[in-house]
Structures are given as structure tokens and as C-alpha cells.
Amino acid sequence: MSFTIHEVANRFNVTYDALRFYEKRGLLIDIKRDANGQRIYSDQNCDDLDKLLHLRRLGATVEEVKEMMVLFREAPQSAAAYETGIQLFDRLDRETDQKIADLQQQKVFLHHKRSVFETQKQQLLAGSESGTKVGK
């Protein structure tokens, strides 16, 4: 199948400029053009875009993504090339674990503050009914 830039942008929730940027930087390759010069994206282009967006969301730099896209497209010819990919995946995995831990701490904070507000609201309501004021 083939897709227009509009279809791909909508499908992956990215801007046209982002798609052009990825193409210009060599992250998306072999994008065909129609008779009017409009980009036509293949299933392979969409698969590549999916991979690169995952890597970017995980925190990989543009250069790291470019390196990985080469490894995804072509079977590496050396153990060192595989090791480069493995090291990147390991680093991204550690960073993702840290982000999850940070989010869990934020969630604890939110739950605690919500509980405090709920208690204060209940005290305010109870005070209103009895005619007394509630402090901080």
C-alpha cells in the first residue's frame, strides 16, 4: 500500500515538518514521489517511522536513531554493530525504569495531596454544619 504525507501524519500523530525532517536527516529513506512531486510513503516507510518514533519517545537522540535505523534495515556484519544496538537498548531500558520510578513517586504525591484535600473538605463541611471554622 501507499500513503500520502497527510495520511501518515494523521496515522502517527506527527507533523508534516517532522516527516520532512526525518527524511532530510536520513531516518526515513526511499520515500517515493508521485507525478506531482508529492511524497508517497510505503508500508516499509511506515514501519520505519514506527520504530524511529518509539526510539525518540524512549529518549534516543536523532543520531542514535539514525544508527539504529541502519541496523534495523541491514543485518549488521560485525558483533560490534550488534553490541552498539544492545548498549543503546540497555541504556534506554534503564532510563525508562527511572522514568517509571519518577512517575510512581509523582503518583504517590498526587494521592497524598488528594487525600489531604479530601480530609480538609470533609472538615470544612463538618465545621459548616456545626458553625465552627476549620483551620489550615
CA dist., res. 16 & res. 108, Å (int) = 38
pLDDT in tens, 67-97: 999 988 887 788 988 898 999 999 999 999 9
Name the grid cell of 95.
532510563
pLDDT in tens, 105-133: 999 999 999 999 999 999 999 988 776 55
Single pTM value for the model? 0.77
Which residue has better confidence, 23 or 74?
23
Indicate the fold that domain 2-75 takes in CATH: Multidrug-efflux Transporter Regulator; Chain: A; Domain 2 (1.10.1660)
Amino acid 105 reads Q
Name the grid cell of 102.
519518577
CA dist., res. 8 & res. 25, Å (int) = 18
According to DSSP, residue 131 is labeled: T
pLDDT classification of 14: cutoffs 50, 70, 90:
very high
> Degrees (nearest 5) of the Cα angle 79, 69, 5?
170
CA distances for 101 relative to 57, 97, 108, angstroms: 17, 6, 11
Q: Domain residue spans in the chain?
A: 2-75
Q: What is the pLDDT of residue 76?
A: 75
Picking from 42, 53, 41, 40, the residue whose alpha carbon sits closest to that of residue 12 is: 53
